[in-house]
């Protein structure tokens, strides 16, 4: 039997004042016990970036996450950036990774001695220590995602760039996606999409070491079966017609259908959050192809070997065609 030592706690008042001891069963799962709030399902409308002055618009749910800094998920912060024609805006987040998607407009970004020209539909990524100046030649909007909340949580400063600024041209992205679409039409694969990668990350095959970017198409009149993963998805809708939506929920019934789902209707230029571990299915009842760009913290989860992506029926589609 363990014998309790005789300790004069008063001799260590300052050192012991923050020490606490939790009984295991009440502390092993803080999420289930309610100490950590769940990531919420939230929609951010396209109107946020369509009006008003040049500015950065954080998609911030930090109050619901109970964290003391802006965040869209515990690890990432998404934003819209609006830049009026002929104007510019500067960004310099404390982040190891930044990914930009050009919703509309054209112009260029300068980072040190590097100039990145961009047009509607292009993507580009920036590493740590990027003090960037974005100059718009026409009315411009970005979808911008960083891993700044992760660094804020750790209490560290990004100091070492792990990759070079990288541009992903819209023409090449659509060309690669078209080739995948043609090949997968014969196999009925679930993900008709391409992942944006960087030669600096051959193991995770992701756009940065923390972030993951997919550029995909949801075919006409089809449903993607429910799937889930432990990373948070912050999905940007590139283009669609009414009748496209995502169903999101915690549990499946015995037919592998989502129980009591939340319905996130798609609209071009909007964003919605899919929490980690939630089942979700994508639906296209519009009669027209739709394009989606999920951004996730899956680069980090992939490196940690904890992404744990699962599909209810493998990587397949349900067809709505008669």
Neighbours of 16 (CB within 10 A): 12
Identify the CATH number of the domain in which residue 128 sits: 2.60.120.10
What pLDDT is stored for residue 315 in this prediction?
Answer: 53
| Domain boundary, last residue among 125, 148, 168 | 168
Query: Are 250 and 279 members of one domain?
Result: yes
In a domain, residue 221? The reply is yes
Query: Are 307 and 186 members of one domain?
Result: yes
Query: Are 58 and 175 members of one domain?
Result: no
In a domain, residue 79? The reply is yes
In a domain, residue 163? The reply is yes
Query: Are 210 and 85 members of one domain?
Result: no
Query: Are 71 and 178 members of one domain?
Result: no
In a domain, residue 283? The reply is yes
| Domain boundary, last residue among 105, 140, 168 | 168
- Give mean pLDDT, residues 122-141: 98
> Among residues 248, 204, 237, 191, which one has the least CA distance to residue 39?
248
| Three-class HEC string of the chain | CCCCCCCCHHHHHHHHCCCCCCCHHHHCCHHHHCCCCCCCCCEECHHHHCCCCCEEEECCCHHHHCCCCCCCCCCCEEEEEEECCCCEEEECCCCCEEEEEEEECEEEEEECCEEEEEECCCEEEEECCCCEEEEECCCEEEEEEECHHHHHHHCCCCCCCCCCCEEECHHHHHHHHHHHHHHHCCCCECCCEEEECCCCCCCCCCCCCCCEEEEEEECCCEEEEEEECCCCEEEEEEECCCCEEEEEECCECCCCCECCCEEEECCCCCEEEECCCCEEEEEECCCCCEEEEEEECHHHHHHHCCCCCEEECECEEEECCC
- Give mean pLDDT, residues 298-318: 82
Query: Are 160 and 114 members of one domain?
Result: yes
Tell me the per-residue pLDDT of 189-233, one tens digit each, with 9 for 90 and over: 657 899 999 999 999 999 999 999 999 999 988 888 899 999 999
What pLDDT is stored for residue 314 in this prediction?
Answer: 59
What pLDDT is stored for residue 317 in this prediction?
Answer: 44
Domain count, the chain: 2
Higher pLDDT, 259 or 14: 259
pTM over 0.75: yes
Confirm if 124 and 97 have CB atoms less than 8 A apart.
no
In a domain, residue 146? The reply is yes
Query: Are 216 and 294 members of one domain?
Result: yes
Report d(CA 199, CA 90) in Å as an integer.
Answer: 27
Query: Are 114 and 133 members of one domain?
Result: yes
Tell me the per-residue pLDDT of 272-305, one tens digit each, with 9 for 90 and over: 999 999 999 999 999 999 999 999 999 999 999 9
| Domain boundary, last residue among 120, 152, 168 | 168
What pLDDT is stored for residue 318 in this prediction?
Answer: 45
> Among residues 284, 142, 275, which one has the least CA distance to residue 217?
284
In a domain, residue 34? The reply is no
Query: Are 253 and 288 members of one domain?
Result: yes
Q: What percent of the chain has pLDDT over 70?
A: 93
What pLDDT is stored for residue 320 in this prediction?
Answer: 43
In a domain, residue 18? The reply is no
Q: What percent of the chain has pLDDT over 90?
A: 83
Query: Are 158 and 205 members of one domain?
Result: no
> Among residues 294, 313, 318, 291, which one has the least CA distance to residue 221?
318
Query: Are 184 and 87 members of one domain?
Result: no
Query: Are 262 and 164 members of one domain?
Result: no
Domain that holds residue 155: 43-168
> Among residues 43, 102, 100, 38, which one has the least CA distance to residue 73?
38
């Amino acid at each position: 039997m363990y014998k309790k030592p005789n300790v004069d706690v008063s001799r260590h008042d300052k050192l012991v004042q923050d020490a606490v001891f939790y009984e295991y069963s009440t502390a092993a799962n803080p999420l289930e016990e309610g100490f950590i709030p769940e990531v919420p399902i939230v929609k951010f409308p396209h109107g946020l970036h369509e009006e008003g002055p040049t500015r950065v618009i954080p998609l911030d749910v930090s109050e619901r996450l109970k964290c003391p800094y802006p965040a869209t998920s515990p690890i990432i912060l998404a934003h819209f950036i609006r830049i009026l024609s002929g104007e510019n805006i500067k960004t310099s987040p404390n982040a190891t990774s930044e990914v930009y998607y050009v919703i509309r407009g054209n112009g260029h970004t300068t980072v040190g001695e590097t100039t990145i020209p961009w047009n509607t539909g292009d993507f580009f990524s920036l590493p740590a220590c990027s003090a960037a100046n974005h100059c718009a030649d026409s009315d411009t909007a970005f979808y911008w995602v960083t891993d700044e909340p992760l660094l804020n949580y750790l209490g560290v400063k990004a100091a070492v760039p792990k990759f070079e600024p990288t541009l992903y041209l819209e023409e090449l992205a659509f060309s690669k996606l078209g080739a995948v679409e043609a090949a997968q039409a014969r196999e009925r694969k679930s993900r008709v999409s391409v992942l944006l990668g960087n030669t600096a990350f051959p193991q995770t095959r992701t756009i940065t070491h923390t972030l993951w970017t997919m550029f995909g198409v949801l075919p006409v009149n089809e449903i993607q079966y429910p799937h889930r993963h432990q990373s948070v998805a912050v999905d940007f809708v590139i283009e669609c017609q009414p009748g496209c939506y995502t169903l999101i929920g915690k549990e499946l019934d015995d037919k592998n259908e989502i129980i009591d789902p939340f319905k996130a209707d798609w609209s071009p230029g909007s964003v919605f959050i899919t929490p980690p571990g939630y089942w979700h299915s994508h639906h296209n009842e519009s009669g027209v192809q739709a394009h989606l760009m999920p951004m996730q913290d899956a680069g980090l989860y992939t490196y940690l070997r904890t992404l744990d992506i699962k599909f209810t029926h493998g990587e397949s589609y349900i067809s709505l065609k008669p």
